[in-house]
Structure 1
């Protein structure tokens, strides 16, 4: 039976990339491939390639995903906490607002680069948006030779 190029051959698939290590490396803001090189070259700017293993990181398309995840997490942490503090202690509204505004901003600033790294790690592990095309192309060249 011949494939005729209609469906990918199972033997041609590149090795699987583990999701959990890639997510953890991204959370630590390290390269999802080697875990040693820095992923970001500023607060949120992803490097074009890893300085240690030269993995091409320019394919990432994190866009608004990390911001939405940050809002989701901060909201789910701070909203119940706000309710508990208000019911238990009844602080002055300005004090409550000031403390929770600072808390929300601080937690958001902490989470945003880590979640961006995790999203890039997820994309890398799942070979999304061009991650891994070079492996498929080199394997294709090897089979033609």
Structure 2
């Protein structure tokens, strides 16, 4: 019997918001991307879920093509000097990664949590 996709989607959306995949109330992170050991609301041990290298790898896979294309287009535009454009693009790239990485890590944790719960039942 196939498990319902609804709980997986719920866990993904909760992770995207940085919330506990079990209850949706507690915070998933203590800092920017440091996992909280347990949910402060329901006590689920979310700190034991190993997200490891997946979130940074996937973040680069998502942002890389866009950032490379933007860098190429800006460098080919003669009206913007490179000495000004490249530092601004670098700051923008760092900002994009800092905005995206916690969300991608939350999604990974939500998926891994759901898969662990499916294997336990």
Superposed pair shares fold, TM > 0.5: yes
Q: Output the TM-score relative to the length of structure 2.
A: 0.85
For this pair of structures, how many residues does the alignment match?
120
Q: Tell me the equivalent position of 2:97.
A: 108
Distance 2:7 2:77 in 1: 45
SS of 1:66's equivalent in the other structure is helix
Distance 1:107 1:117 in 2: 16
- Deviation, structure 1 residue 87: 3.1
Q: Output the TM-score relative to the length of structure 1.
A: 0.72
SS of 2:58's equivalent in the other structure is helix
Distance 1:20 1:72 in 2: 22
Match status 1:83 vs 2:68: no
Q: Tell me the equivalent position of 1:64.
A: 53
Computed over aligned residues only, the root mean square deviation of the Cα atoms, in angstroms, reads 2.2
Moved over 6 A (4+): none
Match status 1:40 vs 2:45: no
Residues 132, 45 of structure 1: alpha-carbon distance in 2 compared, 3 angstrom cutoff: farther
Structure whose CA Rg is larger:
1
Higher helix share: 2
8 Å CA contact retained: 2:25, 2:41: yes
Match status 1:51 vs 2:35: no
Gaps of 5+ in 2: none
- Deviation, structure 1 residue 61: 0.7
